[in-house]
Amino acid sequence: MKPIVFITQKLPDQAVAGLKEQYEVRMWPEEETHAPREKLLEEAKEAHALWTMLSDQIDSEVFENAPNLKIVSNLAVGYNNIDLEAARKYGVTVTNTPEVLTESTADLTFALLLATARRIMEAEKIVRSGEWKSWTPMGMTGQNVGGATLGIIGMGRIGEAVARRAQGFGMNILYHNRTRKSLEDVRYAGFEELLKVSDYVVILTPLTPETRGMIGAEELALMKETACLINVARGGIVDEMALYEALKEKKIWGAGLDVFEQEPVPLDHPLLTLPNVTVLPHIGSATVQTRLEMMALNAEAIKACLENRSVKNRVC
């Protein structure tokens, strides 16, 4: 019998064609939804490889009920949806998809920053709804980006790519990171200093026990009233209700969010009621080229593991 690969969400044929030649590939048939929990557990009982999405919780229950499982390959850079301790306990390799999404995610980050600063989404709605009656001196005024101060929390590959884009806008760039780096025209700042002086605070740190909830009411209170918070990392890093209150009370000027603690974000979420919030459906790496490159990394990792070859992009 061929080894079994279970893919938890429908992927393009070209992404899985190479696996079908050698393995029995089982794939959840819907692109808009991922395999429900009961289906995941059912397939894990026989699977030799799981190709997973961020929306899949791969916890100890999955590993306990997967005697044949050799690898979990996650279609993301992040892997906070996978219990790594349990994976190690059961001897299962876990991989992710780093590096290939750096530039596309940095593009989206800066696009979200610009859209928030210049109220792009609000302005488009005014045009489409017919509310635009005439030019007015202070109509739809936003915040300057060129020459402003950008504070990046989490200076990994994506952070450095965002900084390069900011340099083109003549921004004053600060960063806060666990380790200091030698970067041209970019200055390290303490966490509180960065929050106090930045016009734009961009979150690019992974979600870990240490970073969960790191931006709450106290941190938001340190920011300028004219500042914007941009989150393209993980929703759990920001206390969403604290952010709602800060925006509602105009303690900060705006926010751009590509991620939420619960995804899809509930339609009755308070943040969605505010005009000074620009929201996107977690599309940081969503270009055709990038997503196909990410899938190619997943497929190669699965093949390498099942063929007992060296596996790249191992998390554990």
Structure tokens belonging to residue 238: 């920001």
Exposed (0-12), middle (13-18) or buried (19+): which is 126, by Cβ within 10 Å?
A: middle
Integer Cα distance of 293 and 79 in angstroms: 18
Set 30, 31, 263, 307: catalytic member: 263
The candidate with the shortest Cα–Cα distance to 113, out of 223, 237, 257, is: 257
CB neighbours of residue 209 within 10 Å: 7
Q: How far apart are CA 135 and CA 216, in angstroms?
A: 38
Which is catalytic among the residues 34, 176, 234, 291? 234
Q: From 152, 291, 289, select the one nearest 232 (Cα to Cα).
A: 152
Residue 172, helix vs strand vs coil: strand
Q: Are strands 200-203 and 172-176 parallel, antiparallel or unpaired?
A: unpaired
Burial class (CB in 10 A: 0-12, 13-18, 19+), 57: middle
Residue among 34, 119, 176, 282 flagged as catalytic: 282
* 282 in active site: yes
CA distance 133 to 164: 39
Q: Catalytic: 176?
A: no
Helices (H), the chain: 13-20, 37-44, 60-64, 84-89, 102-117, 120-129, 157-168, 191-197, 217-222, 240-248, 288-306
Q: What whole-number distance in Å separates Cα of residue 71 and Cα of residue 316?
A: 10
Query: Which whole-number Å values give the CA distances from 5 to 138, 143, 198, 265, 309, in the listed order?
Result: 58, 49, 47, 30, 17
Per the annotation, the verdict on 291 as an active-site residue is no
Residue with tokens 């899985």: 16
Catalytically active residues are 234, 263, 282
